[in-house]
Structure 1
């Protein structure tokens, strides 16, 4: 599906020990009493031309990870190497220049578009900021971008409220594509859309990836969308990656109990068939007070005393398949 399979050693992004802790305060005098560990030590790589899916429940740190990669949020700790350069150590001016290579597609296609601006101005804005086109050439480029995402010149003078949700997301994609970036973070880009529109947007993203050699980080909480577009999938739980594997291997042979639970919740399209569902006990623990040992042990049906005492390392159990579990499934 992507160039990554043909060029497995061409790294575009490398994340090492990435953390984001948000301080929180309580009491009359707003005294700091602790930290919310939104992201608690991530290590992964992204190859050129591939799509890395990141999936997990709401609040697991997916979107925070994407925002740190784009330097929309400062990391508490860790390294983010983009083409060998550590983004966490660059100056604001250096980051501004790097933004041409890194863009984002937001979850809400209405909130992410300025309601006072016309479509022409929305898409032209990044091109103007970076001084890439002017006058008639700028307008021609905007029209080209609209046509690439399935819209047309007659949409130029309209405002975001005049479009459907799917059309607004196409405008957001055109804006992200304007600077010909190398990496696009797709932050739940289809979760706010009707199911019938989701597949259209996913197919558009796949086509653009093939046409322009794009690299995606695709963030979602639903596994069907992630399966449709991703080459590899990272499963996050409470700020950490608990399993990372090739898409087909993950769906065919999940090795972490949390991944197994997520897969069991995916509905089967055939109403005549039934499958066993793995129901998780209890609620997602607070990232301000994560459990000791394995972060998943409070909800895991296979947990032992070891799980409640010692955090499992993320280790490779098969080629390209890593899992953070003391007792991986199938062993």
Structure 2
């Protein structure tokens, strides 16, 4: 049984809402509201949900690219939420991120060699010749050629740019990579190439992924376990196989019913959710999903459901499954 590389406990990220002449705080946006999960060494945990549910904020908060409001993040045995900036910078050698938009995350004024060298320079690794050698090796690893090192980001296609983003994340031999929607900006044909590349790299370099996406078919392809987020909270978490064969939470069922099927004759009941997504600045009381849930009860409106194991590692936050 693999040990936990990442343990996230009760993570919260609230953004203040200010108003009035003096800019007083009049409320908060609960972007991430009490999220807990673990990622085992060598596995891929998928995090899915519709836009605005807090999945990207979760990924950035646990890396402290944005400071969490509360909670604890234990990475490889170290509680990183209490580290000083210099200690956190050293810790970032082992945890890297691949951003959603490869064009926005690469400096257009730097060529690829300079972009990939930068992590090595920041952490004082190798001399100029060794860094150059490492850049060439890493370009080959992600399916590009060493002559690409002298080109600039605008000279590449979207898929190639994302490969450069992955190469940059790998330069320091990290243990964990947070992949924040790494294929959502790419064509479908390129998506599969980048996903297959990420899986090959995971096997060859013993990587652990937190894979954030909104496309459930992509998550199914790459993830060992999947967590479903809704309005800043995880509502269901289980193995990929179990989630797709036996979803429990009404929100997960609705999401899965919307995934296109390649068989034109396949009959499947489409679950249409009523109402709009509530605002994280004013989330509903009790279960946050109760305003759109077809099985809503009075208990759902007033009591927040516990996120608990209902059997064989299948976690769900729903009053329908209270023992």
Counterpart of 1:134 in structure 2 is 127
Could you tell me which of 177, 180, 187 is aligned with 1:187?
Answer: 180
Structure 2 Cα separation of the partners of residues 53 and 198 of structure 1: 16
Could you tell me which of 78, 84, 90 is aligned with 2:83?
Answer: 90
Structure 2 Cα separation of the partners of residues 288 and 309 of structure 1: 18
Summarize deviations over 1:96-121 as a string: whole Å, max 9, x none: 11010000000000000000000010
Report the CA distance between 1:27 and its aligned residue: 3.2
Could you tell me which of 19, 24, 28 is aligned with 1:26?
Answer: 19
Q: How does 1:21-100 map to 2 (within 5 A)?
A: 21-100=14-93
Could you tell me which of 249, 253, 258 is aligned with 2:246?
Answer: 253
Q: How does 1:84-233 map to 2 (within 5 A)?
A: 84-233=77-226
Counterpart of 1:294 in structure 2 is 287
Contact 1:268 1:274 in 2 (8 A): no
Summarize deviations over 1:259-305 as a string: whole Å, max 9, x none: 00010000011123232110011111000000001000000001111
Structure 2 Cα separation of the partners of residues 319 and 81 of structure 1: 24
Report the CA distance between 1:138 and its aligned residue: 1.2
Structure 2 Cα separation of the partners of residues 126 and 202 of structure 1: 24
Report the CA distance between 1:31 and its aligned residue: 2.6
Report the CA distance between 1:29 and its aligned residue: 3.6
- Residue correspondences, number: 323
Contact 1:187 1:218 in 2 (8 A): yes
Structure 2 Cα separation of the partners of residues 328 and 199 of structure 1: 36
Report the CA distance between 1:137 and its aligned residue: 1.6
Say if 2:252 is the partner of 1:274: no
Report the CA distance between 1:328 and its aligned residue: 3.8
Q: Which runs of 5+ in 2 are unaligned?
A: none
Structure 2 Cα separation of the partners of residues 53 and 306 of structure 1: 30
Structure 1 Cα separation of the partners of residues 254 and 271 of structure 2: 5
Structure 2 Cα separation of the partners of residues 163 and 284 of structure 1: 37
Summarize deviations over 1:10-32 as a string: whole Å, max 9, x none: 11110111101100112344332
User: Under a length normalisation based on structure 1, what TM-score does the superposition of the two structures give?
Assistant: 0.96
Counterpart of 1:242 in structure 2 is 235
Structure 2 Cα separation of the partners of residues 269 and 136 of structure 1: 50
Counterpart of 1:4 in structure 2 is none
Task: Write out the 4+ residue segments of structure 1 that deviate beyond 3 Å after TM superposition.
Answer: none
CA-atom RMSD in angstroms: 1.2
User: Under a length normalisation based on structure 2, what TM-score does the superposition of the two structures give?
Assistant: 0.98
Structure 1 Cα separation of the partners of residues 261 and 185 of structure 2: 22
SS for the counterpart of 1:245 is strand
Structure 2 Cα separation of the partners of residues 179 and 273 of structure 1: 47
Structure 2 Cα separation of the partners of residues 29 and 82 of structure 1: 40
Structure 2 Cα separation of the partners of residues 270 and 294 of structure 1: 35
